[in-house]
Structure 1
């Protein structure tokens, strides 16, 4: 008996459903990234998800009469490694002219691309329930947790600013009589 993950090569309706599902999953994540004005947006996530689904469907269709979990496993491993290169390109950017060091940006975008690939694999395997749950949870992580992260960052920043300001009581040496000065610094007498 064939597993529900394996397809017959002439099952066009099921194949089309899985590929469209992959495009939908990628669109949900990609649209969120696009609205946040990230470099990897709608089309990138849709194509990563779609490509992963196509690669996943290949061993499912070619081994339809004799299911082979090893070929599917190797395909999934290859997708995971390959998408890592795309994510690496998203993370590392050249330094700006102002800074002479490399800067790291885009970790969340790279992770979103990685999740898009996983969702494409899920869609290619026909596990639409898992895909729907995963895409909703991913959307929540990208939106809800960003707000929580900002709140925590602002709270932490306020606490650090409060403790880092030193209150020096005024003395006769550091009081200026000029009210037009921007700061109260008086150079030491020579």
Structure 2
């Protein structure tokens, strides 16, 4: 029974409270971006951005932990390349984000939402690797860009998803 419990709760390079805090941070930061998208009634909103950020964070944490698993401790056998983890998450999220982008009636829709999803993945990676200040700053900047610049676009009629060609109303 002790072996089963030891397998269920293995020793960890990163202490479990730190892992859970990183995952929670990914939930909060991804959720903030998703909340803004949800408030604008975009198809990928609160839950989607949380899941993307959470998954990216988990991939980063698992990549750190996997190197220190028993059987992978020989430095000559296993070398982690953090860029491969980043590339894999980037490719996966880019696939999801590309599904959000639609070209209809001569206009591109969903590009900002797709970019937000991609950014949520990057923020999740930053959280998973333990870069709280980078993830926090990036989240704040993203919210400012999405909210403040979104208001400016609406005020001046530059919102590409809702812009009406002036020639159509003549």
With the shorter chain as reference, the TM-score category is 0.7 to 0.9
Determine whether 1:88 maps to 2:98: yes
Match of 2:153 in 1: 149
Change (3 A) 1:74 1:121: same
Tell whether the 8 Å contact from 2:28 to 2:50 is kept in structure 1 after alignment: yes
Q: Distance in 1 between matches of 2:58 and 2:113?
A: 22
RMSD: 2.5
Q: Is the 8 A contact 1:8 1:61 kept in 2?
A: yes
| Alignment counterpart, residue 124 of structure 1, candidates 128, 134, 159 | 128
- Decide whether the 8 Å contact of 1:9 with 1:62 is kept in 2: no
Greater percentage in helix: 2
- 1:18 paired to 2:22: yes
CA distance in 2, matches of 1:92, 1:9: 43
How far has the Cα of 1:8 moved from its partner? Answer: 3.6
Comparing both chains, which one has the higher relative contact order based on Cα–Cα distances under 8 Å and sequence gaps of 6 or more? 2
Query: Match of 2:157, SS?
Result: helix
Report the structure number with the largest CA radius of gyration: 1
Taking structure 1 as the reference length, the TM-score comes to 0.68
State the match for 1:56 in structure 2. Answer: 60
Q: Give the alignment's TM-score, normalised by structure 2.
A: 0.76
Q: Partners of 1:31 and 1:129 in 2: how far apart?
A: 21
Paired with 1:85 and 1:59, the residues of 2 have a C-alpha distance of: 21
Whole-Å Cα distance in 2 between the matches of residues 10 and 81 of structure 1?
26
Q: Name stretches of at least 5 consecutive residues in structure 1 with no aligned partner.
A: 1-6, 96-100, 155-159, 166-190
Following superposition, the deviation at residue 28 of structure 1 comes to 0.5
